[in-house]
Structures are given as C-alpha cells and as structure tokens.
Amino acid sequence: MQRNLGLDILRTFSIFLVLFQHGGITIQKMVVPTMGAFGVEIFFVLSGFLIGDILIRQLQKENSLKSIKTFLIRRWLRILPTYYFILLFKFLFIDHSVGFNIIYYFLFLQNNFYGIQFHDVTWSLVIEEWFYIFLPLFLTLFFKLNGKKFKTGMLFFIAFILAEIILRFIYVQFKGGTYSAINGIFLLRFDALFMGVILAYLKNNYFELFKKLNSFWLSSLACGLIIAYLFYINNRVGASENFNNSTVLKVSHFIILPFLISLIVPKIFFSSIDWMGIKFKTCLTFCFTNLSKLTYALYLVHPFFYFVIDYFNPAYSKLLYFIFTFASAFLLYNLIEKPILKLRDKKIKE
C-alpha cells in the first residue's frame, strides 16, 4: 500500500497518546484503558488493516508457501533487527539483571512466561508478532475455502471473532484475571487486529462497499460512542476495580473499542487535504509522513527516558523527555531501521 496521509496522521496520533501517557500528560480519570493503551488499540486496528492489505493482495495473486515465506521474511526484517538491537543495547549497557531470561524476549514469550518489566512496551509487539505468524495460515485456508465470496468470507471472520470472545469468556470463568492480564495474552487479542483485516478484505474485494464506509455520519457516530463508552467505564469510583470485577466488560471490551475504531478508518483513509494551499499541504505531508516513519523507533526508545520525568525539574522534565525520545528515535531509524528496510526492499520484492 502506498503511503496514505490520513493513515500517517492516525499513526502519529496513536504514538503521541502513548508518549503523553508515559510522559505524565494524561487524562486523569482515564484508567481503563489508559490513554496510552487506547493508542495501542488504534495501532492494532491500523496494523491489521495495513498488514492484511499486503497479505490479501499477495495470497490472491499466488496462494502458496512461497508467498507466505516472502511475507514473513519482509515482516521480520521490518520488526526484528530494530527490536533485537534495543534489547541487546539495554541488556549490555543498562540492565542485565534479566540474565538468560532475555531469551523470552527474543522469542516473544515474555507476556505470559516471564514478565514485561525489562522493557514494558514490548507486550504489544508480542501480540503483533504472533499475529503475523497466524494470519498467513488463516488467510491461506480462508482463500482455499473460497473466502473471496462475500458471504463465505464474512462468515469466516465473524466465526473467528466469536471464537476469540468465547475464549476470553472461558479464560475469565476459569482464571479470572485483570484487565492487564487479559490484555497481554496474544491468543485472546487477535480480534482487535482482525477488525483491520476485515477492512483490508473489503478494500481489496468489495471496494464499493468499503467506500460506503467513508461516511462522515458513521465516523462521527463511532467517535461519539467511543467517548461515551470510555466515559461510562471510567466515570465511577473505583473504575479499575469495577472493570476487573465485571465478566461482561473483561470479555467484550477488547472487541468494542477495535470495532468502533474500525468504523473510523475508512473515513481517514479517504480523507484529502487537496483544498489546502500547496505550501501548507506539502509541509503537512512532509511532517506527518516523517513522523509516521519514526513511530516504531519512538515506541521502542521512549521507555529509556522515563527517568527524566522523575529526576529533572518538573518545569522542563517533560520537554527533555520528548527531546531525548525524538533524538534517539531519529538516530535509531536512520542508523538501523532505514538501512535494513532499504536492503530488504532491494533484495526481496512483495
């Protein structure tokens, strides 16, 4: 998929929610999910849409092991080098107390077999990485069983999402679990990403229907419902405890937000700034395109600067936090991520 300004803006908005949350700039009453966790939820839907678009086009062109292999190699070259660099850097120069258990991080198993304290933001990468492995298998079978037909395809997707909801219900019944515990179990979180995959499926096979979702009223309704839902679960005394004691919320929450977010994505996808002056349009495109490219690096490096908030004068600590984060992300992107992506695109075509 070519770069899309609307999606770049949405991606940038998402990372700023995360950075603000961890930088102490928060909506105080927003505890479930936190502002940062809501940003990650947007990332999940957006990632499902973008990765689903790539894989659906690839498998509809050639549904083979070769296509899956190409997809996985490209994904791993996108994610793993930068991720492993950050892990090794922190392990060698900052904190090696994790010892041999760092292997859990290298295998994306930390959420449920060790803990995320070593580098806390990696919990979401665990979910995404296992999703990248699962999705090609699902879509291969999907297209083998004639999933390109609308009724068959939607039946597959609905069945999968229902299965995820049932799995969460079974988990809650037998294990209980808090919001945080459920949030990190990748087998219980794929439906958030699948909301984006459904949009990619419609875009590639039923474009006119996808265009119909480009509705101001639909996206406005979705925004209003998101605000109302977040207000409902947070505007009570002991909001976190109430959530953790509610089976209904713990089962349904992880599909409600992704579903509502997915209703906004088409409007953003089709958004245009052609009405703006050429200079302002060029400037805006340049800013958000480059900020969007930095999002992965920003996500990985910003935990290194949590200490700035606690140890520097409150008057300028947040400013320093953002300066250090963006400067480090810029270096990480240009020295590690960008060169590897260039080499990947040169050697491995979609």
**What does the alpha-carbon distance between residue 193 and residue 262 come to, in Å, rounded to a whole number?**
10
**Are the C-beta atoms of 52 and 201 separated by less than 8 Å?**
yes
DSSP characters over 15-60? HHHHHHHHTT---TT--SS-HHHHHHHHHHHHHHHHHHHHHHHHHH
Mean pLDDT of 92-111: 96
CA-nearest of 165, 124, 160, 161 to 252 is 165
Q: What's the one-letter identity of residue 26?
A: T
Q: How far is CA 69 from CA 66, 133, 144, 193, in A?
A: 5, 10, 17, 21
- What are the CB-based long-range contacts (under 8 Å, 24+) for 155-158? 157/194, 157/197, 157/198, 157/201
Token code pair at residue 216 = 């101001």
What is the phi/psi pair of residue 74, to 5°?
Answer: -65, -40
Quote the mean pLDDT of the chain.
94
| pLDDT over 90 at 29, yes or no | no
**What does the alpha-carbon distance between residue 150 and residue 208 come to, in Å, rounded to a whole number?**
13
CB-based burial label for 237 (10 Å; 0-12, 13-18, 19+): exposed
Output the CA torsion sign for 224, 248, 44, 201.
negative
pLDDT recorded at residue 350: 66
Q: 136 falls in which pLDDT band (50, 70, 90)?
A: very high
pLDDT recorded at residue 219: 97
pLDDT recorded at residue 36: 95
Output the CA torsion sign for 314, 320, 325, 326.
positive
pLDDT recorded at residue 14: 97
Mean pLDDT of 79-83: 97
Query: Comparing 161 with 274, which gets the higher pLDDT?
Result: 161
**What does the alpha-carbon distance between residue 258 and residue 252 come to, in Å, rounded to a whole number?**
11
pLDDT recorded at residue 278: 82
| pLDDT over 70 at 165, yes or no | yes
The segment with the largest mean pLDDT, out of 24-28, 111-115, 195-199, is 195-199
Q: What's the one-letter identity of residue 270?
A: F
Q: What percent of the chain has pLDDT over 90?
A: 82
Give the tens place of pLDDT for each residue, 243-278: 999 999 999 999 999 999 999 999 999 998 777 778
Instruction: Mean pLDDT check: name the lowest of 24-38, 114-128, 208-222.
Output: 24-38
DSSP characters over 266-329? HHHHT---TTS-HHHHHHHHHHHHHHHHTHHHHHHHGGGGHHHHHHS-TTTHHHHHHHHHHHHH
Q: What angle do CA 314, 317, 319 make, to 5 degrees?
A: 125
pLDDT recorded at residue 1: 64
**What does the alpha-carbon distance between residue 349 and residue 343 come to, in Å, rounded to a whole number?**
11
| pLDDT over 90 at 233, yes or no | yes
What is the residue extent of each domain of the chain? 5-280
Q: How far is CA 296 from CA 2, 50, 133, 290, 329, in A?
A: 18, 15, 19, 12, 8
Mean pLDDT of 187-202: 96
pLDDT recorded at residue 159: 95
